[in-house]
Amino acid sequence: MRKIFYLIVLLGIGGLAFIRLGPSDPAVWHVDPKVTADQDLASGVRRRVPAQSGDFVRLNGIILATPRTELLAGNVEDGFATFVTRSLWMGFPDYTTVRESDGVLEIWGRQRFGTSDMGVNRARVDGWLDALKAARD
């Protein structure tokens, strides 16, 4: 019985380590968001907003100022970038892809693990967009 307990603990620790330390493959996550309309999804959010000159640069700064967020792939110069934001305690990764095309910012925030992000990506992306609006003024 004790061996089973230790096996369960070891598997749990291994799972948590994979969540926190597992690699993020840009080939999987750095993809065209193809946002045609605003959508609130169970596993994330899609936003399509008109862009003003310099908005991608401003939004990039806002995103990178977010705790536990880093650039995964792409860059501002190409108008296409994907970011990883990890949760505080468990380190769950969420991926946000931003693309500027024809005067529009397309933003797609989604989770990697699970079936529902409980609105975390919506709150984060909408917060970034609120900060972008404030930075324009």
Closest listed residue to residue 101, CA positions, set 126, 79, 132: 79
Q: What is the mean pLDDT of residues 95-113?
A: 96
Encode pLDDT of 29-74 as tens digits: 999 999 999 999 999 999 999 999 999 999 999 999 999 999 999 9
Closest listed residue to residue 86, CA positions, set 28, 20, 33: 20
Domain with 55, as residue range(s), is: 25-136
Within a 10 A sphere around the Cβ of 17, how many other Cβ atoms? Answer: 11
**Per-residue model confidence (pLDDT) at position 49:** 96
Domain assignment present for 69:
yes
Of 7-16, 47-56, 71-80, the least confident: 7-16
| pTM, to two decimals | 0.89
Domain assignment present for 9:
no
Task: Domain count for the chain, please give it.
Answer: 1
Domain assignment present for 41:
yes
Distance CA 80, CA 86 (A): 20
Q: Which two tokens stand for residue 83?
A: 């970011």
> Which H/E stretch holds residue 13?
helix 2-21
CATH of the domain at 53: 3.30.310
The residues that bridge with 41 in the sheet, in sequence order, are 44
